[in-house]
Structure 1
């Protein structure tokens, strides 16, 4: 049973994670909406791109981070319900990521002068992260929600699933940092940019830098919550005597 001080600290860390996650979404929305021209679909490929950073941060950072935390937050709920919630939140994260990928490919392919795809390290690491996340979701669904999978196989796969869950989250944040830096130099740092250059730290540059700092802080907080053994979900007496699919 958790002690009250530990539980209060845990609740505080979770609240901090939520504030940081929401702040990252707000910052990227303000950046794309107020400084990069707003949002559109295929009729304006340049503005369609703006959905890419927004949806990627919503999906692979904010929602994915929350999906990781559900086993800690809902520690006293029936495990099957928590598994379903974990899978559903991750499914929404994957959906946002898929639309975010479509937005960036459309913005390149439908531009008046088409832009090459998949040439930067950001694009390579980003696509790798999305593919790994999709595989993680599929293997997790089959291993922990498919009733015909043997208990021994679940036991073997669980530490692998836990490790890659956190590793992919770290990859998502790293890719986001690379992406916002790339966008900053391509846009605010471009010689053709008419406004205050990035090197002079305009308001847009401040938002970009704060966004990066918030993403790093979110990764550190989620990582701390997940790796702290005091916050680990302990199985109830009933769970110790029933299969994992119950």
Structure 2
């Protein structure tokens, strides 16, 4: 059941947190970690693509896709297309981000898929892809029958939110894992970088919480533009 609080205050906070999160992760990798690169002798620059693409792509753009039906007063077909395209961008950036982590590991002679973060990360990408393909086929093209769409919608929403919560949790674990490695390599535990990474992780979780609050809050009156009209 939707919250009686209007969606607008929550979606406004989501947008503000999205900007803040993007700024923080860019400050981390560009200022503290030396930048980003696809090819470099310093392999850490390759890894730096991973947190940037996962946060801005899968978490932030993915979150914006989730709230698109509540955040914008547009026609149903426009919001449906926005929802689909934003999720596609999030998924593509997420796949590239995961590949960047594998590329960094392979070029640095580091084992792959040994940590909980990596296991959950692959799970998230696979489930996200399945969710997007199912949504495209049933709700966009070629499109399922009206009864099938009506029956699928609650499951589509619930599964999508589950995958998103899993993505946010996986990101938080990733920050912890990377910061632990850095601290074991000599990074000051109470230094500026450590505090920035922890604060970015906290903001990521808060962002995810406001996405959930926004999508569960009271949207516009149900009409031809309503979410259930999908």
Matched, 1:157 2:152: yes
For the residues of structure 1 that align with 2:105 and 2:225, how far apart are their CA atoms?
A: 55
For the residues of structure 2 that align with 1:47 and 1:237, how far apart are their CA atoms?
A: 44
Matched, 1:122 2:117: yes
1:218 and 1:41, CA in 2 relative to 1: closer, same or farther beyond 3 A? same
Gaps of 5+ in 2: none
Indicate the residue corresponding to 2:71 in structure 1: 73
For the residues of structure 2 that align with 1:152 and 1:40, how far apart are their CA atoms?
A: 48
For the residues of structure 1 that align with 2:227 and 2:18, how far apart are their CA atoms?
A: 32
SS of the residue 1:231 aligns to: coil
- Retained in 2: the 8 A contact 1:68–1:86? yes
Matched, 1:205 2:203: no
1:29-178 to 2 correspondence within 5 Å? Answer: 29-44=26-41, 45-74=43-72, 76-111=73-108, 114-178=109-173
1:184 and 1:233, CA in 2 relative to 1: closer, same or farther beyond 3 A? farther
CA RMSD of aligned residues (A): 2.2
**Alignment coverage as a number of residue pairs:** 226
For the residues of structure 2 that align with 1:19 and 1:233, how far apart are their CA atoms?
A: 25
Relative to the length of structure 1, the TM-score reads 0.85
Gaps of 5+ in 1: none
1:233 and 1:160, CA in 2 relative to 1: closer, same or farther beyond 3 A? farther
Matched, 1:26 2:23: yes
SS of the residue 2:67 aligns to: helix
For the residues of structure 2 that align with 1:237 and 1:56, how far apart are their CA atoms?
A: 31
Task: Compare relative contact order (CA 8 Å, sep 6+) and give the higher one, 1 or 2.
Answer: 2
Relative to the length of structure 2, the TM-score reads 0.91
- Retained in 1: the 8 A contact 2:76–2:226? no
